[in-house]
Chain A
Amino acid sequence: MSEAARSQAPGSMDSAPLLETSGLTKSFRSLVALRDQAIVVRPGEIVGVIGPNGSGKSTFFNLVSGFLRPDSGSVRFDGQPIERRSAAEIVRLGIARTFQGTRLFKALSVAENVRAAAQLRHPSSMLDALVGTPRLRRAARRVDAITGELLGLVGLTGRAGVRAGDLPYGDQRRLELVRALATQPRLLMLDEPAAGMDAAETRELMDLVDRIRRRFGVAVIVVEHDMDLIMNLCERIQVLAHGQTIFEGAPAEVQAHPKVREVYLGHA
């Protein structure tokens, strides 16, 4: 990943949208999990999505990342409609995500988790593997280099050989984050990355996300319950309740808005 090529100024309002959803709706039987949602994320921008439990945040993530199909509405990435694409295709296009609660390859080593993701951009076929082509060796070198760099970024270099499932919880979350990053996304979606972390760890994570954004020029969407994290990190916040968008604006506006205080922060 060449940093110079990829780093750019964090999102400015005049650039074309990277992600744009509109009218996004998804029901599970009679329950409308997300209704008529719309959001615009520009390159390099960092946007927060908050809302009480069951308000549709993860559903929004699943719709954008291709793990669920919307009932109606559209998802455009880089101007291209993606709501009918498979999850794997969407990753290839440049959207990577983490899951609420982690989803690591638990029995594989820490390094293997990252390599498996990094090889998406440096592929080799069965024929390459059988013959041992120069392409295979070149890809392996690139994948190892990326893996080394990313493990260094989250301080897991010394634990590269450890079974991912044996890592402490905080390390598992960081590993999942760099595994997503290893697919070289332009948009990174983090579903409650700080869940289960203490205040110090949360601050550290915030710092990490910010560093990643600047260094790799990725746009970020964060779902979080931790208000401090969201307010300090995000340029813009969208508030959901019962699948509906009730407010969207800068952190200060969100905190001041009476409807948000009532629905989400729980005190009028």
Chain B
Amino acid sequence: MSAPRGLPRGLLAGLAGIALLALVTWLLPQLVSNYLVRVVIVMCINAVLVASMGLANGFTGVFSLGHVGFVAVGAYVSGILSLSAHAKGAYLPDLPHWLAGITLGFLPSTLVAGLVCVALAFLVGAPLMRLSGYFVAVATLGFLIIVNVVLINAVDFTRGARTFTGVPLETSLPWAVGWLAVAVAVIARVVYSPVGRRYRAVREDTIAAQAIGLEVLPVRLSAFMLGAFFAGVGGSLYGHYLGSFSPAAFYLAYTFTLISMLVIGGMQSLTGALVGVVAVSVASEVLRNLERGLDLGIFTVPPLYGASQVVLGFILILVMIFRPSGIMGDRELTLGPLVKPRQEGPGREIKR
């Protein structure tokens, strides 16, 4: 086994990472257009969401379709909290007094959103994480539907199906990149630790997992709750990026997008989740530009609105047929010795 890793190296990697992120967030806006910066921000938010979805779905093998339900809760909870008193009076006049009086900053409202989602994940997960296979998928889809219906009907808090607006536009590039870094660091540490080993054991065989002393429910629940935290955080980031949104923004279409990113990248790998986000985002940006139509001089491509969704669907089908475990499978990309995952990595030491 390799020598124990000292602190200096980890510290060095951390500092190098922070320096790199600072450089990127400072440099990028100078180099590329505003449009591209916005694309990168959305990519970072999606990466937080997909990586956290992979925690339960990929590492413990509980295929949840409810992640976007937590994203919605995160967006609305943080949005209500960070709305100014003036905006609350204008848009949410029927808010209870104790809530109407509170206005939190971006960071605290994001953290509260994450914690509310953790508590909700505990309530939802305690009964549902006992289930397996498609039972979980169907039941968590039910959760997504319930969240949607509640948001539409809790008019005093959400303005119902109408647009919730007035959320301060706080999600800048540094915030998005910073939260992504935190999410990746936390998830990587957990997944490549003895805790993550428990996740994989439960995923591989629940009976064998019990035979080595693991209770399936708490193991899955801890992954589900940690994933929900970052879903809430991502929801807050998204809400504070859009400024105005409605329950429809956090429903089936978004679920499909995030799941295709996860599945295309590879569910059982953290870098797979990130690769999936980049691949799908780049593909759909390109396609979105193409679907407006092209004039190539000799011939013109007529506008084909909606084509990007169709192509994305096809890509997903092709990946499922030819590479069902996604681009990365269960392997991780590493950036050399600086950020090498620890011992626990299944991918690193597997010889095929």
List A contacts of B195 (CB < 8 A).
124-126, 129
Docked-complex contact A99 and B211, CB < 8 angstroms: yes
List B contacts of A128 (CB < 8 A).
193-194
**Interface: B335 (CB within 8 A):** no
Bound together, the chains give a CA A123 to CA B195 distance in angstroms of: 9
List B contacts of A263 (CB < 8 A).
none
Q: Which residues on A are within 8 Å of B, measured CB to CB?
A: 65-67, 86-88, 91-92, 96-97, 99, 103-109, 111-112, 115-117, 119-120, 123-126, 128-130, 132, 136-137, 139-141, 143-144, 148, 160-163, 166, 179-180, 182-183
State which of A88, A140, A143, A160 has its C-beta within 8 Å of the C-beta of B213. A88
**Interface: B200 (CB within 8 A):** yes
State which of B208, B215, B343, B352 has its C-beta within 8 Å of the C-beta of A86. B215
Known A87-B211, A137-B4, A143-B194; contact A107-B330, beta-carbon cutoff 8 A? yes
Known A92-B213, A96-B211, A129-B195; contact A108-B190, beta-carbon cutoff 8 A? no
Some 6 contacts from A to B, beta carbons below 8 A apart, are A88-B210, A91-B213, A108-B346, A115-B194, A129-B189, A140-B343
List B contacts of A129 (CB < 8 A).
189-190, 193-196
Docked-complex contact B189 and A108, CB < 8 angstroms: no
State which of B1, B198, B222, B226 has its C-beta within 8 Å of the C-beta of A148. B1
List A contacts of B210 (CB < 8 A).
66-67, 86-88, 91
State which of A132, A140, A182, A183 has its C-beta within 8 Å of the C-beta of B189. A132
State which of B1, B194, B200, B349 has its C-beta within 8 Å of the C-beta of A124. B194
Known A109-B346, A183-B213; contact A132-B10, beta-carbon cutoff 8 A? yes
Whole-angstrom distance between the Cβ of A137 and the nearest chain B Cβ: 6
Bound together, the chains give a CA A179 to CA B190 distance in angstroms of: 23
State which of A104, A126, A139, A144 has its C-beta within 8 Å of the C-beta of B208. A104
Bound together, the chains give a CA A92 to CA B210 distance in angstroms of: 10
Nearest 6 interchain pairs by C-beta: A129-B193, A91-B213, A105-B204, A117-B212, A87-B210, A103-B208
Docked-complex contact A162 and B351, CB < 8 angstroms: yes
Docked-complex contact A112 and B200, CB < 8 angstroms: yes
Bound together, the chains give a CA A112 to CA B204 distance in angstroms of: 12
Bound together, the chains give a CA A96 to CA B213 distance in angstroms of: 9
List A contacts of B315 (CB < 8 A).
none
Bound together, the chains give a CA A119 to CA B193 distance in angstroms of: 11
Bound together, the chains give a CA A66 to CA B211 distance in angstroms of: 9
State which of B4, B200, B343, B352 has its C-beta within 8 Å of the C-beta of A163. B352
Docked-complex contact B194 and A161, CB < 8 angstroms: no
Closest chain A residue to B208 by CB distance? A103
Known A132-B189, A141-B4; contact A112-B197, beta-carbon cutoff 8 A? yes
Docked-complex contact B213 and A130, CB < 8 angstroms: no
Bound together, the chains give a CA A108 to CA B209 distance in angstroms of: 13
Docked-complex contact A103 and B197, CB < 8 angstroms: no
List B contacts of A65 (CB < 8 A).
211
Which of B1, B10, B194, B204 has most A Cβ within 10 Å? B194
Indicate with 1 or 0, residue by residue over B185-224, a CB within 8 angstroms of chain A CB atoms: 0100110011111101100110111111111000000100
State which of A109, A139, A141, A148 has its C-beta within 8 Å of the C-beta of B349. A109
Closest chain A residue to B225 by CB distance? A126
Bound together, the chains give a CA A124 to CA B211 distance in angstroms of: 19
Known A88-B214, A129-B193; contact A161-B201, beta-carbon cutoff 8 A? no
Docked-complex contact B211 and A103, CB < 8 angstroms: yes
Docked-complex contact B186 and A130, CB < 8 angstroms: yes
State which of A67, A97, A116, A136 has its C-beta within 8 Å of the C-beta of B197. A116
Docked-complex contact A119 and B350, CB < 8 angstroms: no
Whole-angstrom distance between the Cβ of A95 and the nearest chain B Cβ: 10
Bound together, the chains give a CA A116 to CA B186 distance in angstroms of: 21
Docked-complex contact B208 and A120, CB < 8 angstroms: no
Whole-angstrom distance between the Cβ of A208 and the nearest chain B Cβ: 19
Closest chain B residue to A182 by CB distance? B212
Which of A88, A132, A163 has most B Cβ within 10 Å? A88
List A contacts of B343 (CB < 8 A).
140, 144
Docked-complex contact A105 and B205, CB < 8 angstroms: yes
List A contacts of B197 (CB < 8 A).
112, 115-116, 119
Bound together, the chains give a CA A144 to CA B194 distance in angstroms of: 12
Whole-angstrom distance between the Cβ of A221 and the nearest chain B Cβ: 15
List A contacts of B198 (CB < 8 A).
116, 119
Bound together, the chains give a CA A129 to CA B193 distance in angstroms of: 6
**Seed contacts A99-B207, A103-B207, A126-B190; 17 additional CB < 8 Å A-B pairs:** A86-B210, A86-B215, A88-B215, A91-B211, A96-B211, A99-B208, A104-B205, A105-B201, A105-B205, A107-B200, A111-B349, A112-B197, A112-B344, A116-B197, A136-B193, A140-B194, A183-B212
Bound together, the chains give a CA A179 to CA B209 distance in angstroms of: 11
